[in-house]
Each structure stands twice: as structure tokens, then as C-alpha cells.
Amino acid sequence: MFNSSAGSYSEVARAGADVLDIPDTVGTATPERMAELVRLTREAAPGKIVSVHCHDDFGLAVANSIAGVIAGASQFHATVNGIGERAGNASLEETALALKFLYKRELGIKPELIYETSRMVAKLTGVYPPPNKAIVGDNAFGHESGIHVHGVLEMPSTYEPINPEVVGRRRFFVAGKHAGSHGIDAMLREYGIDVDEDQLRQIVQEVKRLGDMGKTVTDADLLAIARSVTGRLPPGETTASLSGLVVVTGMGINPTASIRLRLKDHEISTSSIGVGPVDAALRALQSMVKEIAEVRLVEYRLEAITGGSDALGEVLIKVEDDAGNVASARSVGTDIVMASVDAMVDGINKILQKRAARAGGNTRVQDSGNRG
């Protein structure tokens, strides 16, 4: 268990150390014990800098770091996304922002760069935070439940501890069985779609029906439902469309994808390598639209719909751009690479539609009388 003696720190201080670090290397400290040890160390070595180093083996690294700082430690060790040996170290974003917003401690950080830094570290290390991770998890500012969405639209602090823009993020809403009219309306408006109350009611009913069946309702599904109810296409045009795809893979070679994409009014081609054919193809697509928007793949799911070697596979993806816009799409096919590319192209188009809607304002979709 966590056993450390303040007396040993006084001896180290007398030997000339300027910084006294209290390491909870195996993560067995408790906030109470950490706070006590920091106070004892400060008494034993007055005028010295006291630091805490906490691991997360019992999920207490952040709590222990905060307890140490509140007790008088002037430094804490932390890592972006909490990465580290075994269960990891104290999460920088959680510790720093809790101290800033809950304890009113100024740390000299730039909160608006937290999410960007988290994404960069995840990309470089290949270690991605779980979706439900505080502050930087993909779902940290996502809302589905109708009452939650209504509350956050009226008063964000009802269901959000901080404004997502503070840490470089943007809230988003999810269509599903728990969705309500306020959330669905907000999602449609992100695409520049404004519907009347009757149309909205029908769209929500269909979303809930699909959700009750256990289906994931993507942005593409929501727009298709809106189209069937209103009889009109969403405003804006398809920006990206696939013109050609060649994938080369096999033993002893790097999987390579060559893609030709029609982007607005011109065609572009590029190639990319990846850890597999799907990865290579999606990397190529992301690089092709980079000049318009930096789109990253947040979530990728592949599910078999039928059995056999010719099974139909369903690909569901979620993408996010550098402005915080989030979109989801799906595709079904026997060719997993092709289905993945189709879903990614659809997701990229949804992102570009959201960006266009934000830049140009909303466009009302008039009722044509077709209820689908």
C-alpha cells in the first residue's frame, strides 16, 4: 500500500534537493493520504517545491493529484489522455480543468487547445481515449435524450459542466430511440433544413421506430427520413463523389489504395498506404479533401448482416472535422472496402453540407404533400 514518510523528505531537503516529489507509482494512494503527506512534507521541508506523481491503478490519479495541489503541492505530473504504464497516469485535461473550473486555480494553460492536443497525441501514439472519457472522449459533449437536448438548448449548463468551445469542441446531437423533437430539429438545422411541426413529428416517430428496432440512426438516415417526409432533397449539392478505386494488397506488400474523386467541379487522384486495404482507402480519401476540410475518422464499425463468404457487411462510420462538426453514415455491401469507401464519402459530404449550412444560413424545406 501507499507508504511514504515525510521524515525522508526532510532528509532529502537537507541534502540540497529543491523539488520534493511524492510518487504514487503503483496507484494505491487515497486523496486523504495524499493531502496529509503533502502537508507533512511542506512542514518538514519549508520553502521547498512539493510535487505529486500519481498513477491510475485504482482510478484515483486525478483525485489524488487534485488533493495534493489543494493541500499545497505546487506541481503535479500528468499526461495527455492519461496515457502511461499499466492503467496510466493522471490525465492532464481532467486534472487541469478540474482545478481551473471547480477549484478556481489558474494553471497557465490554454484550454481551447486541449482537444486538439488530445487528438494529436492519440494519432501519434495510436492510443485513443474511450468514447466516454471526460473532456476529450468522443461522447463527452454528445446528447441524445430528448429532455437532455431540450435542456441544453435552453440552458447549456443544465447538462454541460462547461461550454464545449472552451476546450476546442462543439456539442452534437444523436438521433435514436431516446431522441426528442428539439434534438432532431437541431440536427436538421445543422444541415440547413427547417421543417414544420407536423413534418418534425413524423420524422421523430420514424427515428424512434428505427431506434426501438436496435438500429443506429446515422445522419444519412436522418436526412433520408426527412426527404421521405418532405418530398424534397436537403439544400446543397453532393460535393464529393467516387470516380474510381483500385486497391492492392497481399503478402509482403503494403496495402495501397488509389482513388479518383470528383470534388466539386474537378477530379483529383491520389494513393495512400495503410495497415490494411480499408485503412489505406480511407486515408486516401481524408488526404484528398484536406484542402477543404480536415476530416478525421472518429468511429468505424463493421457488422455482418448475412452469413457465408459472400456475406453482406454493414459499415457505420462517424467523422469529425477541424471545426468540430460531427456526421455519421452507413453503407452495405459484400465488398467491405467498397462499402467503407462509400460510407466515408457520404460522411465527408455530410460534413461539407454542415459547413456550408453554417456559412450560408438555414434554408427552409417546403412541404410537397408527399409524406412517404
In a domain, 285, yes or no: yes
Please tell me the total count of domains within the chain. Answer: 2
What confidence score (pLDDT) does residue 169 get?
84
Residue 48: CATH number of its domain: 3.20.20.70
In a domain, 311, yes or no: yes
Domain final position from 69, 89, 109:
109
- Region 198-218 average pLDDT: 85
* pTM for the structure as a whole: 0.68
In a domain, 184, yes or no: no
Residue 343 burial (CB < 10 Å; 0-12/13-18/19+)?
buried
Across 89-112, b (16+ Cβ under 10 Å) vs e yields bbbbbbbbbbbbeeeeeeeeeebe
| pLDDT tens per residue across span 215-228 | 778 888 888 888 88
What confidence score (pLDDT) does residue 222 get?
86
In a domain, 274, yes or no: yes
Residue 258: CATH number of its domain: 3.30.160.270
31 pLDDT above the threshold of 80: yes
User: Between β-strands 193-194 and 363-364, what pairing exists: parallel, antiparallel or unpaired?
Assistant: parallel
Domain final position from 109, 135, 160:
109
What confidence score (pLDDT) does residue 12 get?
74
Domain final position from 109, 135, 153:
109
36 pLDDT above the threshold of 90: yes
In a domain, 257, yes or no: yes
What confidence score (pLDDT) does residue 93 get?
94
Q: Determine the residue type at 349.
A: N
- Region 302-320 average pLDDT: 81
Phi–psi pair at 295, nearest 5 degrees: -105, 130
Answer whether 91's CB lies under 8 Å from 85's CB. no
In a domain, 347, yes or no: yes
Full domain range(s) for residue 299:
244-359
Q: Which residues contact 339 (CB under 8 A, 6 or more apart)?
A: 313, 314, 315, 331, 332, 333
In a domain, 189, yes or no: no
- Region 101-126 average pLDDT: 90
Most confident of the following: 75-79, 116-120, 199-203, 237-241: 75-79
E-only strand ranges, the chain = 19-24, 49-54, 75-77, 142-143, 172-173, 193-194, 240-248, 256-263, 266-273, 295-304, 313-321, 326-333, 363-364
Q: Give me the residue label for grid cell 430511440.
A: 177
In a domain, 226, yes or no: no
DSSP 113: G
